[in-house]
A and B are shown apart, each in its own frame.
Chain A
């Protein structure tokens, strides 16, 4: 009898616990490292904005799936003219913005015209430069005319920078974003969190979650504590790879390591002597031991790269052997370049551990061949000011997380200041090419050119570790673009 009582008592508790868990089924707290400066993805480069709004709040004509494929978004279908210049988009019917207004051709024209305008502050204006005209055929049909064929046009339209916004709400978009997505913006407590809720009027598959909260935790120790204490249900891109084995060993959590578009490079100021000498850059490349950096700074997380291209992309060429670790060769090259005793330079390191720890390792590796790199640790704001805008640096470490961004090497005013006419022509030709095979050939040629010019020290492809509670499913493991897409996320029954 006593046993039965105990059993009944235990099942009551289990029932109560079950109810408790069921109530939380529709809620999710997800942590990301950085708080966005504001919430308009069409007017800033900050990836932290896309983390919160991409696909959740804002949608574009096309969109990325987790595996990197581009699928229809607000455009249901499209037709491309034979010369590749005219795209006719058929928009979905019955799509409304969160404020109740209809999403139609007007909004598409407004968004594209705004992004490509002369005074546009869009961080990726290059995505729109090939557009010469946007015309409204009827409320659900838009015709986009390009000035030249662009093989990447549909891909470009999937970026967070190309989402469709409404003219009615554009003035307050930075603090109160009104989009068409499966979630609505609710509240932003600066310095702490952003709340979003399910959009019941959503045109597509409704979100599984009722409420979601984004928390901002950049400190690795705080991140570890928050996950361990179950203050957050999921951490997208966990900051300290060294803690992952502990989560893996813990039955409460699942750890998934996905790929990102983040080429982590030792950026070299190509205009600053002695780095204007290709021999010196080659010496730097051979002084670096990638595996030591991946093991030491990332605890093994990351894929070595030999050029500025994502290894999971079909057009990737493995050029790591081109800049294999060879200190003797590095010393010989330095001597050839006129620096038998090496030289001194600076190494600016932004906060992420790939940079701070990787920087210490690289400084030691450079010192071994005679290059004395003085380390300066900087915050992101300072990095943007001094390195990215001011170009006042010798070396720096950063991860370029934009997809398909080899084109930055064709911009001579870009912060590492690589100026090669042949390469610029190559990229111009690539942009015009629509044939997939020809594109692959050109992309591979481009990868080889920058690898042979040793523009930067190509280190590794950043991995994306996601830590989530057991029972959570539907989140992105790979990051084809910076996003924490919650539209398919839910708890298993």
Chain B
């Protein structure tokens, strides 16, 4: 076990646990407003203070973690579910028109600045968590398609694939039975990285008002709400800001650690 993996894993699981716990328990009702008790600094009983409506920031961070994780997780899921088969197909039909079509389509999506397109999508179809998921998800497709294809291409040259081909397996079966398990390690590593980027993207979209709509708490919107009050109530920005930083840092460290641990290329070097 390496240090990155441990620290990253601990930080990430902290937020995942907070999100899971929020389904059954939060210190206060995250939506309950208590305007006379607004802008309280961190301390008992409000461990992270209260916001401009007197809502408990700790509870909002817990429920907000749920929003962030749900959006990022589903977005990565969309990317994997569509990107991986596309990458496998492209690799199996290397050099064919299908390969060209898939990869140039990938280039096309890559060529657009992702956040700008996400803003466009949410602006056209309306703001909300679901559209944010779709927008972020679309940009995960080429990431997974490309990484799957490049890893699969080198696998197709290997002897065990040749054996499988000689024994008469179709390229679709080979892709799923032999190639996919061998690129899984890479996908897990990439998935972790994309997950952290998804959390950032969700926060960014919410910050400009295109993510989850109130009253659903979202870290990005908490930051946006805090903007004009930072100078006299800094905890309003610090709390969600630190939550975003620590989660993204944790996931990135975990991704790095997983790469050292899982990536076959790096493993060869170590042994």
Per-position 1/0 for B50-61, Cβ under 8 A of A: 001110000000
Interface residue? B134 (CB, 8 A):
no
Across the interface, name the chain B residue whose C-beta is closest to A374. Answer: B213
The answer to whether A220 and B227 touch across the interface, beta carbons within 8 angstroms, is: yes
Interface residue? B215 (CB, 8 A):
yes
The answer to whether A375 and B52 touch across the interface, beta carbons within 8 angstroms, is: no
Given A292-B35, A360-B215, A376-B213, decide whether A224 and B228 contact each other with a Cβ distance below 8 A: yes
Chain A residues with a Cβ closer than 8 Å to the other chain, count: 22
B window 17-37: CB within 8 A of A: 31-33, 35-36
In the docked arrangement, what's the CA distance between A375 and B221, Å? 14
In the docked arrangement, what's the CA distance between A361 and B227, Å? 19
Partner of B33, one of A220, A243, A296, A359: A296
The answer to whether B33 and A364 touch across the interface, beta carbons within 8 angstroms, is: yes
Across the interface, name the chain A residue whose C-beta is closest to B54. Answer: A296
Interface residue? A132 (CB, 8 A):
no
Count, A-B residue pairs, CB within 8 A: 55
The answer to whether B228 and A243 touch across the interface, beta carbons within 8 angstroms, is: yes
The answer to whether B228 and A240 touch across the interface, beta carbons within 8 angstroms, is: yes
In the docked arrangement, what's the CA distance between A292 and B36, Å? 8
Contacts of B54 in A (CB 8 A): 296
Interface residue? A473 (CB, 8 A):
no
The answer to whether B227 and A221 touch across the interface, beta carbons within 8 angstroms, is: yes
Contacts of A361 in B (CB 8 A): 33, 35, 53
The answer to whether B214 and A375 touch across the interface, beta carbons within 8 angstroms, is: yes
The answer to whether A360 and B213 touch across the interface, beta carbons within 8 angstroms, is: no
Interface residues of B (CB under 8 A from A): 31-33, 35-36, 38, 52-54, 126-127, 209, 213-215, 227-229, 231-232
Interface residues of A (CB under 8 A from B): 220-221, 224, 240, 242-243, 245-246, 292, 295-296, 357, 359-361, 363-364, 367, 374-377
Additional A-B contacts beyond A361-B35, A364-B33, A376-B213 (14; CB < 8 A): A224-B228, A224-B231, A242-B229, A242-B232, A295-B36, A296-B33, A361-B33, A361-B53, A364-B53, A364-B215, A367-B31, A375-B215, A376-B126, A377-B209
- Interchain Cβ contacts under 8 Å between A and B, 27 examples: A220-B228, A221-B227, A224-B228, A242-B229, A243-B228, A243-B231, A245-B232, A246-B231, A292-B33, A292-B35, A295-B35, A296-B52, A357-B52, A357-B53, A359-B214, A360-B214, A360-B215, A363-B214, A363-B215, A364-B32, A364-B53, A367-B31, A367-B215, A375-B213, A375-B214, A376-B126, A376-B127
6 tightest Cβ-Cβ pairs between the two chains A and B: A240-B228, A296-B35, A220-B228, A221-B227, A292-B35, A360-B214
